[in-house]
Structure 1
């Protein structure tokens, strides 16, 4: 019988891979960098990375925006990016494109430096030229974007300008976000501050209701610490806002996941963390009991980064256009396109009898079909879907609870998913979800659930591992939620042969532990951005050079994953030598376990191929009856290549026999 997936594979076009429709609608990501250009942001400071060089917060913010755009050219070429500056006296009419109408509907003292638009090399090069000019002349940014002195623009006007810019430039079905960068924790000093706070909160509600998420990056320094409680705790909104009257402005929990930047050089690394929008893998109901349901969204915590997919282009003479690709099915006999809904699926059990008219008529009936003896059974796409899902609808059904210590490490057979409440689907989901988490953590229990995430997936049993919310000093926080751990079925578990190994002595362990402790990562943290995949990094560096029409020098590429041998020997060289000496003197290190002592080890059968037999099969044209391993063994004995399919092996054997 052929593999299961060979006959019951359904077109992805017909399937709704993810229940969250926003995943399809929000394929494009729109980021509007909203950068404060006040005097404090333009104030010159010593660059921490270069000697005798000065920098400022605006320069760092623009550099971060430029770096993210350069990266998005590779990983998200369809995304849109814009840059809005506020607290500057530069007039909107003096845009770089000379378009007087551009930015005419934004508030005073705000300037649209880069309109919302697709990523392109000339726009990024313009930012690079501005940053290079600042390196040569530290007053370049202050002269290009003169700061507003004596007062500050109202944050309500800033949010209104962001709303108008996104409304006019961003695609309607995109994921829209605003990166707010500022170092001023109380922008509304003096009389009328309460009215300005109310105005800022109202305009921010209008911004979020249009589908825009504001992600603030607050710059805090030793000279000027940033205190959120002065202004932003009364203005910023929680995620999934449902009812304004339910929010207490004095409650600090209404703040979204804001970032407080204690070191301005960390701005780029923290922006990269939030560069990719959080798209839900699924949005399904969570049934706690009969008639008691809440809504949850599922997110993937680990994703493999791969090279971007290539595209087909059509040469139209004066320009190149992206070709639209679609899959169609053609009837070979009639050479006509076949409707995919009429296609049925069946197992390839050999060349059966041709289908007669009665069988064709029965195949059209999706409710009931009578299959005669000797005929091949066929199934519709709906039948295949019902086989997979067992007639269940996507959702999570809570079955019960178990003690937390009953969850073993080996039960986690693949990447877990993280679920979070969805207030938009079922009102009260957050409160119920939070109460369940607190109760399970208090009682040291885990949940057991039956899960079906997609319509074309198979139901699995999962463990709900609760995670309590935690926050550190830098503003990073682990949200409260459940890790959805897929449990293995009985067929997924294999009994391992128990082999007693030779254990190292305590002295040898202590010697190894000494140099391992010297080379351990500090604080147990592993920053993945610091060690990029060298193959992807090399590929992206070449694409970036091609996009910006620069000459790429392969010798300049640095593989950051290579071990730093000098530092390793400097830190732990002596300890490693001492461990090596102890290892040589340890008698247990010389013990070798032969394969024969391991229970259940299979010996590979010896394969001998006689040349006379091969030649006799060749003379009667019966090489096709030989097995692949026999053909390979014969070619290997004659020092011939053994790669390729069986037909290629047969051809290679025939060529050798003809030559000899």
Structure 2
């Protein structure tokens, strides 16, 4: 029952392993937007640019942000939940309650516009109508006359998360407001809000604040929100906090468009929750010396995911369920799963393995990161990268003191510019890899906000089996004038700040796929062409480097003319020569090849060493190789490949 193509079995096994890895990382996410609806939040902000006459209120900007966020998540993360809660509104609504039953309202001045659930196309359309100020949106966005209690808002969010997403590992509350002190000096209301925030934290909900500064007043977290915002994640307190709340980075004054863009960039940076690839893995620094670390995948290629196949020939679309059956070639009967054994081709035979035997073949021990030794960071070639790296961070759960040891190792590697070679098994049943453990420095943006925390990177290295032979190439070095002028061209075409920033360049193919899906799902007009930010800006390139490129082209013509003038003129090879001339030339040329290697052992060794340096030992004859080995006291038995190997071993000593 073995497949005729053994490579297909290997590929299937690799695919199964990759699928298991993806499933292991998959975590459902529930996000609830809590948007403040007050007079100041509804006041349009004039544009700071005199050329722009657009005005937009912070509430509208926040709703647009939630709308764009919902558009993205409904396609890219179809299992995640999202909701929109408006607080400070005159109208009130919670689940089935509304303002008509005001005497029995649980949460006054809180309007649950979109319930926390997997977004549907209809809910996206309703949110878009609210953003566009259509229908009854003006009544919904009417601010309340009295001040809303933040304790009620947080308790309302608590009830929403408890009833709608009780088992989600990632639950987050996004608060967007411009009021940094909602309760003033009222200690009772402040204390109640602090208690409700602690309840959310204990429930496993992370509160993210997106503060908005007013034109005449800068938002200060210390007045109220420092007491209810917890920096670490409740489900993973050891996870690195990539983006700490910073009022300067999260605020925008004046321009409504810049306000929207700021909110979008701030929320997009926090849309992906911190998810561990492995937790509390032992990092062995020596015998009986272990600390625990958690690993994260920060970089991974994203591709469109197909959720299911759809059958369209019925009255309505139906999800098709695939069924795989195996049949015997000789009888055609269905074969049960327990009857099948995997086989690998060895020569002309098929070697079969039982599931237990195959599992034992993959068992190389428990997951571990074991330090083997240390090397200079310069010993790591730039091409030694066969898989995405893992970011590791210390965890105190299994071994107390792991953070101190990890920090000391991190600082030592940075200070001495070293890397650690490690034996790495990512999870149980995975194959071991040799990897380089590299210390990463903390990276801050222009506002002083942390982009990447200090930690270690595990970079899997290739084995000998993974390296392919390089093709033979000839290096032609350009003249110095050409190199000098090309250096100027390259300097004119540097990226901003000389750094490639991935967040500036969305994948055009992936975004086009999502844009088409969105248009079909929301009954929108199909876009004409994709937005591709990777297309070069030709006009800007011409303005910066056009003259230098033309100057380089002129220099290229000069150098080509100079090279052509100095080269010998080719002579015709069509002259007919007599057989005697060819015979005499052949007789003269044959001994001349062996004169140098036959005159003495010194010349023989010199000739062999020259060929070794050029990597052309295979061009030497077997007789020359044997003479060289005999003169140096080595065995000269075997085929030519064996002789070449012995010569290389001798010369490389």
Q: Matched residue of 2:352: which SS? A: coil
How far apart are 1:42 and its partner, in Å?
Answer: 1.9
Give the 5 Å matches for 1:38-77.
38-47=38-47, 51-77=52-78
Q: Matched residue of 1:484: which SS? A: strand
8 Å Cα contact 2:389/2:459 also seen in 1: yes
Distance of aligned partners of 1:14 and 1:459 in 2 relative to their CA distance in 1, 3 Å threshold? closer
* TM-score (ref. length: structure 2): 0.73
8 Å Cα contact 2:206/2:230 also seen in 1: no
What is residue 295 of structure 1 aligned with on the other side? 292
Q: Is the counterpart of residue 309 in structure 1 residue 312 in structure 2? A: no
What is residue 404 of structure 1 aligned with on the other side? 377
Deviation string, structure 1 residues 590-630 (Cα, Å, up to 9, x no partner) = 68x9xxxx988x9xxxxxxxxxxxxxxxxxxxxxxxxxxxx
Deviation string, structure 1 residues 7-32 (Cα, Å, up to 9, x no partner) = 695597799934995x35x3x33221
Deviation string, structure 1 residues 449-469 (Cα, Å, up to 9, x no partner) = 211113342101111111233
Q: Aligned-pair RMSD on alpha carbons?
A: 4.2
8 Å Cα contact 2:294/2:392 also seen in 1: yes
Q: Is the counterpart of residue 166 in structure 1 residue 161 in structure 2? A: yes
Q: How many residues align?
A: 553
What is residue 361 of structure 1 aligned with on the other side? none
Distance of aligned partners of 1:35 and 1:293 in 2 relative to their CA distance in 1, 3 Å threshold? farther
What is residue 480 of structure 1 aligned with on the other side? 454
Q: Distance in 2 between matches of 1:338 and 1:319?
A: 34
* TM-score (ref. length: structure 1): 0.72
Distance of aligned partners of 1:242 and 1:534 in 2 relative to their CA distance in 1, 3 Å threshold? closer
What is residue 518 of structure 2 aligned with on the other side? 544
Deviation string, structure 1 residues 221-273 (Cα, Å, up to 9, x no partner) = 664333333333333223255999x9xxxxxx999733531432222123223
Q: Distance in 1 between matches of 2:118 and 2:271?
A: 16
Q: Is the counterpart of residue 178 in structure 1 residue 165 in structure 2? A: no
Task: In structure 1, list runs of 5 or more residues that go unmatched.
Answer: 247-252, 353-375, 603-660
Q: Matched residue of 2:153: which SS? A: helix
Q: Distance in 2 between matches of 1:100 and 1:10?
A: 60
8 Å Cα contact 1:497/1:599 also seen in 2: no
What is residue 110 of structure 1 aligned with on the other side? 110
Distance of aligned partners of 1:415 and 1:16 in 2 relative to their CA distance in 1, 3 Å threshold? closer
8 Å Cα contact 1:393/1:455 also seen in 2: yes
Larger radius of gyration: 2
Distance of aligned partners of 1:450 and 1:553 in 2 relative to their CA distance in 1, 3 Å threshold? closer
How far apart are 1:419 and its partner, in Å?
Answer: 1.5
Q: Is the counterpart of residue 489 in structure 1 residue 476 in structure 2? A: no
Deviation string, structure 1 residues 76-115 (Cα, Å, up to 9, x no partner) = 22322101122333222698x9798999886333221111
Q: Distance in 1 between matches of 2:417 and 2:196?
A: 44
Identify the range of structure 1 (208-217 vs 525-534) with the bigger mean alpha-carbon deviation: 525-534
Give the 5 Å matches for 1:49-448.
51-92=52-93, 107-133=107-133, 143-148=139-144, 151-154=147-150, 156-170=151-165, 172-173=167-168, 175-192=170-187, 196-220=189-213, 223-241=216-234, 257-258=244-245, 260-263=249-252, 264=259, 265-283=261-279, 285-288=281-284, 289-313=286-310, 319-325=316-322, 327=324, 329=326, 335-336=333-334, 338-340=336-338, 343-348=340-345, 377-389=351-363, 391-423=364-396, 428-448=401-421
Deviation string, structure 1 residues 30-81 (Cα, Å, up to 9, x no partner) = 2211222233322211246883221011111111111121122322223221
Q: Is the counterpart of residue 521 in structure 1 residue 519 in structure 2? A: no
Q: Distance in 1 between matches of 2:130 and 2:542?
A: 43
What is residue 29 of structure 1 aligned with on the other side? 29
Q: Distance in 2 between matches of 1:102 and 1:516?
A: 68
Deviation string, structure 1 residues 175-229 (Cα, Å, up to 9, x no partner) = 322222223333342131xx55554444333223323233332334664333333
Distance of aligned partners of 1:531 and 1:157 in 2 relative to their CA distance in 1, 3 Å threshold? same
Identify the range of structure 1 (501-510 vs 38-47) with the bigger mean alpha-carbon deviation: 501-510
Q: Distance in 1 between matches of 2:224 and 2:98?
A: 37
Give the 5 Å matches for 1:627-642.
none
Distance of aligned partners of 1:221 and 1:519 in 2 relative to their CA distance in 1, 3 Å threshold? farther
Task: In structure 2, list runs of 5 or more residues that go unmatched.
Answer: 253-258, 568-613, 619-653
How far apart are 1:302 and its partner, in Å?
Answer: 2.3
Q: Matched residue of 1:347: which SS? A: strand
Distance of aligned partners of 1:287 and 1:320 in 2 relative to their CA distance in 1, 3 Å threshold? same
What is residue 603 of structure 2 aligned with on the other side? none
8 Å Cα contact 2:205/2:234 also seen in 1: no
Q: Distance in 2 between matches of 1:318 and 1:294?
A: 60
What is residue 533 of structure 1 aligned with on the other side? 507
How far apart are 1:277 and its partner, in Å?
Answer: 3.0
Distance of aligned partners of 1:328 and 1:563 in 2 relative to their CA distance in 1, 3 Å threshold? same
Identify the range of structure 1 (274-283 vs 524-533) with the bigger mean alpha-carbon deviation: 524-533
Q: Distance in 1 between matches of 2:542 and 2:17?
A: 58
8 Å Cα contact 2:32/2:172 also seen in 1: yes
Q: Matched residue of 1:281: which SS? A: strand
8 Å Cα contact 2:149/2:189 also seen in 1: no
Distance of aligned partners of 1:560 and 1:467 in 2 relative to their CA distance in 1, 3 Å threshold? closer
What is residue 502 of structure 1 aligned with on the other side? 476
Distance of aligned partners of 1:315 and 1:5 in 2 relative to their CA distance in 1, 3 Å threshold? closer
8 Å Cα contact 1:422/1:430 also seen in 2: yes
8 Å Cα contact 2:438/2:456 also seen in 1: yes
Q: Matched residue of 1:409: which SS? A: coil
How far apart are 1:522 and its partner, in Å?
Answer: 1.5
Q: Distance in 1 between matches of 2:551 and 2:348?
A: 70
Q: Distance in 2 between matches of 1:111 and 1:295?
A: 45
Distance of aligned partners of 1:255 and 1:89 in 2 relative to their CA distance in 1, 3 Å threshold? farther
8 Å Cα contact 1:103/1:112 also seen in 2: no
